[in-house]
Structure 1
Amino acid sequence: MRSWLGSRFPAGSSASPEFTLRAVLLGLLIGCLLCFTNLYFGLQTGWISMMSLQSALIGFLISRLLSTPITPQENVVVQTTAVATGTMPLAAGFVGIIPALGILEQDKDGSGPIQMSWLSAIGWSCAVAYFGVFMSPPLRKQVVIEEQLAFPSGTATAQLISVLHKVPLYSPDSSLRQRRGYNPLSTGDSEDAQPSSDQTGPDSEDVDAEAREVIQNTGWASLAWSFLASSLLTLSAYFFPVVFAIPLFGKYLAQQWLWTFTPSLSYVGQGIIMEFPTTLSMNLGMFVGWGVLSPISKHYGWAPGPVGDMTTGARGWILWTSLAIMSSDSLVALVPVAKEFIERLFRRKALDHVDRPNDPGLTQDDHEVETEDRLVSNHWVLWGLCGSICAGIVIVSLVFGSEGIKPWATLVGFVMGGLLSILGVRALGETDLNPVSGLGKISQLLFAVIQPGNVVANIIAGGVAEAGAQQAGDLMQDLKTGHLIHASPKAQFYGQLIGSTLSIPVTVTAYVLYSRAYPIPGPTFPAPTAYVWLSLARLLRNGELPQNSAIFMLSSAIFFGVVSVLKTSATHRQLWYAKYIPSGVAFAIGFLNTPSFSIARLIGGVIEHLYHKKFAASGGTRDIRLIVVASGFVLGEGVMSIACLVLRTFGIGVASCWGCSHGMCGGCPSAS
C-alpha cells in the first residue's frame, strides 16, 4: 500500500503535517467571516455558498505571510474547517426555519410566535450540528471511493490546490468533471501518475506556472482592492440607503412594484462564483415572477394587497408557484439517483448469494487508498451517530417541549435525514446541486401524515432532516478534495467537528445581534425561505391556497418536471448545452427575491462568461484572477455588514433618506 501510494503522490506527502494548529486556526478565522457573510446574504436572499474554493485560495494567500507556508494537505484542512464553520447558518436553519418559527400566528398555525433565546438557540444548534458530520465517513467510502462520483466543486477546489502548491492530482477516473478554468499539474517525476482528462499536453504546466505567478504576485493586491471597494460601497449604502435601491424604470415602478437595482459588488461576486448559466436561470425566473405573474395576480384581484406583502400581496402569491417549481425540480432530479441507488442495493444482495471463492471475478475490490490510521474508525462513527441522535432528541424536547414536537417524531426526523442524505449526496456528486429544498419538503409531507395539524412539529422535523442532508453533502465535497490531494480523512473529520462546534456560538450570536438591530423578516432581511417553510406547513394543516394559485402551481410543476428530466438526461450524457437548460431551483429563487437581488448577479455571471471566453481562447490564467476578485467582493460586504451592525446597535443611523420612498429602501427609516 505504501509503495502504491508513493508512486502517485509526492514523496513524503502522507508524512507531511496535516492536522496542525495553524491550519485549524486559519480555517476557523476564514470560516467565521464566511459565517457572518452567509447569514447576512442568507437572510436577504435565501442563497448561501460553501466558498470552499475561495477558502483554499485565501488560506494560501494568508499562509504566504508565515515563515513556513502551509502544505497542500494543511490547505485541505483549512478549507474543510472553514466550510464546516461557514455553512452553519443554513444547516441550523437560521436563514429559514428559525425566522419561520418567529412569524407563527395563533389563529393560522395553532401556536404563537416562537422567539428563541440565545441559550435555546445554542441548544437547537447543538441538536443538529453533528449528525451530518458523523454521516460523512461511511458516505465517503461509498460515493467517493467506490463509485468515484465527480463532485465538481470539490474537484475544482482540489485542482486549484494542486496548482497553488505544485502537487499532482490523483485521478483514477478519467471521467471527472471539472469546473472550467482549472487544469491539474502535469505529473512531472511520477511515472505512474494518471493524468486527468483535461490535461492535454506540456502546455498545461506553463498555464499552471502562470496561474501561480498571478496568485503570488497580484493575489493580495486583487483581493485587497476588491475587498475595499465592496466595503466602501456597502458603508455608503448604510448611510445613504438609496445607493442600493436605484429605480430601474422610474420611481413609480420602484415604489409600487419593487423594480429597483442594487449595485452591490458582493452580488456581482456571487454571480461570478455561481457562473453565467445559474444566474441566467435566476433572472429568467425573476422576469416571469415579477414581470408577468405579479402584475397578473394584482390585476385580477387574486393578490389585492401591496405587492411586497407576503400574505395578501403579489409577492406572497407568486411564492406558491416558486414552491411548486422548486419541489418539482428537486424531486424529479432525485428519481434517477434513487433508481440507481436501489439497483445497486439489489445487485449487492445478488452478489451476496454467489459463491465468491469459486468465482473471484465477482469479488468486490476495496478501492480505499488510505491506511487505517488515516481513516475515521467505525467506532467513532457508530457512537457519534447514536450520541448525536440521542442528544438531539433530548435537546429538541427541552427547547420546544412535548407540545412542539414529540420525541419519537424527532427520531423519525433524524432517520429521514439519514435516508435523504444518501440521495442528496449522490445528487450533489453527479450534478453539483444538493436538492435540500426538495428533501426538506419530503420530510414536511411525511410529518403532515404522522403528526397532522402541528405546524411547529412540521417545520422542526423538516429542519432536522434538511440539516443532515445539507451538512453531509457540503462535507462530502471537502472529502472529495481531500481524496484528490491525498489528505487524511481523519484530519478533515477533526476539522469538521471543530468548525461545527465553534460555528454554533458564532452563528447564534450573529443572528441574535441581527434580530435585535433589524426586524426579521423585514425590509433589510426579508428571509424569503422562512415563508417557503411556513407556507407549506400551513397548506398541509388547512389545505387553503391563495385564489387561483393552484392552476399556476400545477402547470409550472409539470413544465419544470419535464425540464428537469431533460436537464438531468443531458447532464448524464455530458452534452454541452446541459448547463444552459434552466435550473428549476435557481429559477424559483428568482421568484423569491425582488429584482434588485437578481440583476447584479446576472452582471457577475456575464462578466464570468466573457472573461472566461476571452482567456479560454488565448490561453493564460483563465478565471483564477477573477475568482480572487469575486472573493474580495463577497467578503468585503460580509465583513462590512458586521461594522454596520455595530453602528446600528449603538444608534448610529442613516445620514440621509433622500430619494427613498415607502417600501423602496430597506435600510431607511422612512421605508420601514
Structure 2
Amino acid sequence: MPSRSQPRDYSSISFAATHDAEPETPKELTFQAVSIGLLIGCLLCFANLSFGLQTGWISMMSLQSALIGFLISRMLPIPLTAQQIIVVQTTAVATGTMPLAAGFVGIIPALKLLDETRDGSPPINLTWLAAIGWSCSVAFFGVFLSPPIRKQVIVNEQLAFPSGTATAQLIAVLHKMPPPDTTIRRRIGYSPVEEEDTDAQRTDRDNQIEESRAPDSLQSEGWHALTSSFVASGTLTLIAYFFPALFSIPIFGTYLARQWLWTFTPSLAYVGQGIIMGFPTTLSMAMGMVLGWAVLSPLAKLSGWAPGPVGDMTDGARGWILWTSLAIMCADSLVSLLPVLAEYVAGLFPRGGQRVKEDYDTETEDRLVPSSWVVGGLTVSVVLGTLLVWVVFGNDGIKPWATLLGFVLGGLLSVLGVRALGETDINPVSGLGKISQLFFAWVQPGNIVANIIAGGVAEAGAQQAGDLMQDLKTGHLCGASPRAQFFGQLIGSAVSIVVTTTGYSLYNRAYVIPGPSFPAPTAYVWLSLARLLRDGQLPENSAIFMISFAAIFGLISGIKTYTAQHQLWYSQWIPSGVAFAIGFLNTPSFTIARLIGGIVEHVYRNRYAKNRSDIRLIVIASGFVLGEGIVSVVSLVLKTSGVGVASCWGCAPGLCGGCE
C-alpha cells in the first residue's frame, strides 16, 4: 500500500504498463507535432480574433484542436502518438488564444475610444510594430507561471479541470487506450478515499474501456463531417458578405429589428460555439439577453435614462445596460473566488497534527521544466515586458514601476484564476481584470491609460496561465511530458504574436473598430470602468440596478459554487453570472444562434448519442467554427481590396455589416 504522504497517482495507472514496456518512449516535441499545432492554432487565432471583436467571447478549443490534430496525423506515414497529439493541442491553444491574452479584443480597441477632453488622453492607435512590442511584453509571462502552478494544483491537489480532463478522455478514445482514471481526487477539503475502488467505480471504468475501442472508420467519418460542416459554414459566410441582410433577419418584425436591435444572425459558427459551450451556458446567456434587451433596454429608453439610439454605447440603452452587466460579472467572479482564496489560505496554515505533504512529482526530472528556467524566464519576461510597455506607451501612458506592479499582481491573480478554473471550468478573467483596475485606480489615480494597460498586463498573465493549465492537466492524465508542452506553449505564443498583430491590423484597416461589423463590446467594459474610477459618474438611475443585480448574482454565485463543490447534479442549471452578463453585452442576434447550438447539443447528447465516445457533433461544431473563422479572412481580403457587398436590400440602417 502506498504511503499517505505520497499517494499513488491514480491518473497515471492506465499508462504505467506502457512506460514499463517501452523505456525508450517516442520523442514528443517533434517537427510534425509543432507544425500541425501551429497550423491549427493560426486558424483558431483568426477565428477567435473575428468572434472576439464581434461578441467579446473566444473559444479555447483545446478538445477540438486535439481532434483535428488526430485527423490530420492519420494522413502521415507514421501517425502521431497520443502524447504528440497533446503537444499539437498545447501549441494550438497557445497560438489561438493570443487575441484575448494580448488584449486585441478588448484593451487595444478600448485605447482607440479615448477622448482627450473627457479622458485626458487622445485616442491611442498602435502601429503594427508597436502592437508587436505590446504583444511581446505580455505573451510569455503566463507561460513561465504555468510550471510552478501546475505542481500545486494538478499534482498535489488534483483539481478537476473539466475541459482538460474531457480532452484526455477523448485522446484515450481516439488512440484506443485505457481511459485515464478520473474518478478519484485527493485535495484539501475533500473526504479521504479508500485505496480500493468501489463496485460502481469499477463498473464505470469497465464501461469507459469498452467505449475506448473507437471504430476504425472514425478517420473517414471524421474528415467527412469536418469538411462538410466547414464548407457549409464557409459558404454561408461568403454569401452573407455579399448579401449582408442574410445575417440580419428581423425575426420579430421590422420595427423591433430597427428600433430595438432584435434580429437573428443564422451563423453556423455561433451555432457551433453554442454546441461547444453546452446548453446550460447558452441558456444563461439567453436569460441575460431577455432581461437585458426585452426588459431593461426598453425601460432605460422609455424612462429617458438613455436618450440616444438604442445601440449607442455612450448614451443609448446598450451603453446603459452595460453597467448592470459589469456589476453582474464583478459580483459573480469575486464571490466564486472567495472559497478558492479561503481554501488557498487555509492550505498555507495546516492544522495541528496534520502531516505536511512531501515534495514529489509524478514525472522524472528530465521531463519537467527546471526551476532555473522558470526563474530566469519570469525575470526576463517581466523586465523585458516592463521595458517594452514603456517604449510603446511612454511615461505619459504608464510609469515603469506601475507596469512592474501589474506583473506582480498578475502573478497573484493567476493563482486564483487557475484554481477557479480547476474547480468550475471557468477562468474568471473578467472579474480579475476588474480587480486589477480597482487596484490601479488607487495606485495611479486619474490616469485612464495606465488603468487600462496595467489591468491588461495583470489579466494577461491570469488568462494565459489558466488556459494553458487545462492542457497540462490533459498531459498529466495521458502521460505527456510537461517540458514538451512547455516548449509547445512558447513556440505557439511566439508565432501568434505576429499572426494576431497582423490579423488585427488588417481588420483595423478594413473596418471601423469598434463599429457595426465588429463592435468589440469588452472594449467598452474596460473603458467604462476606468472612467467610473476616474470620474465617479454613472448613467442616470443605473446605480440602483447595479447594486441590486450584484447582490442577486452574488447570492446565486455562492449557491452555484457550493453546489458545484459538493457535486450536486443541479449545479450546472444554476445560471452562470458571467454568461448571463454576456447576454447583456451582445445584441440578441448572436445569442439566439448560440442558444440554438446549445439546444442541439442537449437533444443530441440525451437522445441520439450512442455513448460518451460519440464525437460526431463535436466534429461538426468544430467545422462550423473554423469555416466561418477562415472565410472571414477571405472577406477581409475582399474588403481591403475594395470589393464591396453585392446588395444591401433588406438591411436596416446600422444593422448590416458592410452597409453602414
Q: TM-score, normalised by structure 2?
A: 0.94
In structure 2, relative to structure 1, the CA distance for the partners of 1:41 and 1:570 (3 Å cut) is: same
Within 5 A, what are the aligned runs for 1:486-525? Answer: 486-525=479-518
Q: SS of the residue aligned with 1:362?
A: coil
Q: Separation in 1 of the partners of 2:60 and 2:357? A: 34
CA distance in structure 2 between the partners assigned to 1:145 and 1:620 by the alignment: 30
Q: 1:14 to 1:543 in 2, by over 3 A?
A: farther
Q: Give the CA deviation at 1:16.
A: 1.6
Q: 2-side partners of 1:502 and 1:273: how far apart?
A: 26
Question: Aligned pair in 2 of structure 1 residues 621, 572: CA closer, same or farther (>3 Å)?
Answer: closer
> In the alignment, does 2:115 pair up with 1:123?
no
Residue 385 of structure 1 pairs with residue 378 of structure 2? yes
1:165 corresponds to which residue?
A: 175
Which one-letter code corresponds to 1:592 in the other structure? Answer: L
Conserved in 1, the CA contact under 8 Å of 2:436 and 2:454?
A: yes
Q: Which residue of 2 aligns with 1:134?
A: 144
1:582 to 568, 575, 582: 575
Residue of structure 1 equivalent to 2:325: 322
Q: How does 1:140-179 map to 2 (within 5 A)?
A: 140-171=150-181, 174-175=184-185
Structural mapping, 1:234-245, within 5 Å:
234-245=237-248
Contact in 2 for aligned 1:513/1:645 (Cα 8 Å): yes
Closer, same or farther: CA 197–392 of 1 in aligned 2, 3 Å? farther
Contact 1:174 / 1:196 at 8 angstroms: preserved in 2?
no
Q: Which residue of 2 aligns with 1:7?
A: 16
**Residue in 1 that maps onto 2:193:** none
Cα deviation digits, residues 68-124 of structure 1 (max 9, x gap): 100001000000000000000000000000000011001111101000000000000
1:208 to 209, 212, 237: 212
Contact preservation (8 Å) 2:289, 2:583: yes
Contact 1:172–1:194, Cα closer than 8 Å, also in 2: no
SS of equivalent to 2:654: coil
Q: Which string of whole-angstrom CA distances, capped at 9 and with x for unpartnered residues, describes residues 373-413 of structure 1?
A: 00000000000001100001110001000111011100110
Other-structure match for 2:230 = 227
Query: Cα–Cα, structure 1 residues 400 and 83, in superposed 2: closer, same or farther, change >3 Å?
Result: same
Alpha-carbon contact 1:100-1:531 (below 8 Å) kept: yes
CA contact (8 A) 2:115 2:121 kept: yes
Partner Cα separation in structure 1 for residue 431 and residue 201 of structure 2: 33
1:641 to 632, 641, 645: 632
Q: Alignment partner of 1:260: what SS?
A: coil
Alpha-carbon offset, residue 247 of structure 1: 0.3
Counterparts of 1:219-368 in structure 2, within 5 Å, are: 219-347=222-350, 362-368=355-361
Q: Which residue of 1 aligns with 2:452?
A: 459
Report the Cα distance in structure 2 between the residues aligned to 1:400 and 1:590, rounded to whole angstroms: 33
Distance 2:613 2:78 in 1: 28
| Identity fraction in percent | 67
Shift of 1:487: 0.4
Whole-Å separation in 2 of the counterparts to 1:141 and 1:464? 24
Contact preservation (8 Å) 1:149, 1:430:
yes
User: Which position in structure 2 is the counterpart of 1:72?
Assistant: 82
- 1:7–1:496 Cα change, 3 Å: closer
Match of 1:373 in 2: 366
Preserved contact between residue 212 and residue 613 of structure 2 (Cα < 8 Å):
no
Deviation at residue 369 of structure 1 after TM alignment: 1.2
Structure 1 residues 452, 442: closer, same or farther in 2, change over 3 A?
Answer: same
Contact 1:265 1:633 in 2 (8 A): yes
Show the counterpart of 1:657: 648
CA-atom RMSD in angstroms: 2.1
Contact 1:297 1:303 in 2 (8 A): yes
Letter in 2 for 1:540: L
Residue identity opposite 1:523 in structure 2: P
8 Å Cα contact 1:170/1:485 also seen in 2: yes
Q: How far off is 1:540 after superposition?
A: 0.3
In the alignment, is residue 424 of structure 1 matched against residue 417 of structure 2? yes
Q: Is the 8 A contact 2:157 2:186 kept in 1?
A: no
Structure-to-structure mapping, 1:104-123, within 5 angstroms:
104-123=114-133
Q: Distance in 2 between matches of 1:198 and 1:391?
A: 52
The structure 1 residue matched to 2:596, chosen from 600, 603, 622, is 603
Change (3 A) 1:154 1:212: farther
Partner of 1:188: none
**Partner Cα separation in structure 1 for residue 285 and residue 319 of structure 2:** 18
1:615–1:241 CA distance, 2 compared to 1 (3 A): same
Find the aligned partners of 2:478 and 2:278 in 1 and give their Cα distance. Answer: 25
Q: 1:571 to 1:202 in 2, by over 3 A?
A: closer
Q: How far has the Cα of 1:432 moved from its partner?
A: 0.2
Indicate which of 538, 543, 556 corresponds to 1:550. Answer: 543
Offset at 1:499? Answer: 0.2
1:96 to 106, 122, 127: 106
Counterpart among 539, 543, 561 of residue 532 in structure 2: 539
Check 1:528–1:540 CA distance in 2 against 1; reply closer, same or farther (3 A cut).
Answer: same
For residue 433 of structure 1, report the CA deviation from its aligned partner: 0.3
**1:31, CA displacement in angstroms?**
0.3
CA 1:146–1:127: 2 relative to 1, 3 Å:
same
Q: 1:425 to 1:657 in 2, by over 3 A?
A: same
Counterparts in 2 of 1:6 and 1:666: CA distance versus 1, 3 Å: closer
Instruction: Evaluate the alpha carbon distance shift between residue 214 and residue 501 of structure 1 in structure 2; reply closer, same or farther with a 3 A threshold.
Output: same
Gaps of 5+ in 2: 1-7, 188-195
Deviations 1:138-182 (A, max 9, x none): 0001000000000000001111001111223443752499xxxxx
2:84, 2:428 → 1: CA distance?
Answer: 30
| Alpha-carbon separation, structure 2, partners of 1:13 and 1:416 | 43
The answer to whether the 8 Å contact 1:163/1:212 transfers is no
Shift of 1:213: 3.9
> Relative to 1, partners in 2 of residues 1:195 and 1:470: Cα closer, same or farther, differing over 3 Å?
farther
Q: Which amino acid aligns with 1:51?
A: M
Q: C-alpha deviations, 1:240-295, integer Å up to 9, x for none?
A: 00000000111111111100000000000000000000000000000000000000
Following superposition, the deviation at residue 367 of structure 1 comes to 4.4
Cross-structure match for 2:427: 434
Give the partner amino acid of 1:371: T
Instruction: Give the Cα–Cα distance (whole angstroms) in 2 for the partners of residues 453 and 198 of structure 1.
Output: 61
Instruction: Spell out, residue by residue over 1:524-562, the C-alpha distance to the aligned partner (whole angstroms, 9 max, x if none).
Output: 000000000000000000000000000000000000000
Shift of 1:200: 2.0
Gap change, CA 1:579 and 1:363, over 3 Å in 2: closer
Aligned to 1:567: 560
Give the Cα separation in 2 of the matches to 1:592 and 1:16.
47
Q: Does structure 2 retain, via aligned residues, the 8 Å contact 1:170–1:194?
A: no
| CA shift in 2, pair 1:213/1:385, >3 Å | same
What residue ranges of structure 1 are gaps of 5+ in the alignment?
178-191, 355-360
Residue 620 of structure 1: CA displacement?
A: 3.7
Correspondence for 1:26: 36
Which sits farther off after the overlay, 212-221 or 517-526?
212-221
Aligned partners of 1:455 and 1:541 also within 8 Å? yes
What is the aligned partner in structure 1 of residue 191 from structure 2? none
Taking a change above 3 Å as real, the CA distance of residues 287 and 213 of structure 1, as seen in their structure-2 partners, is farther
For these two proteins, the number of residue pairs brought into alignment is 642
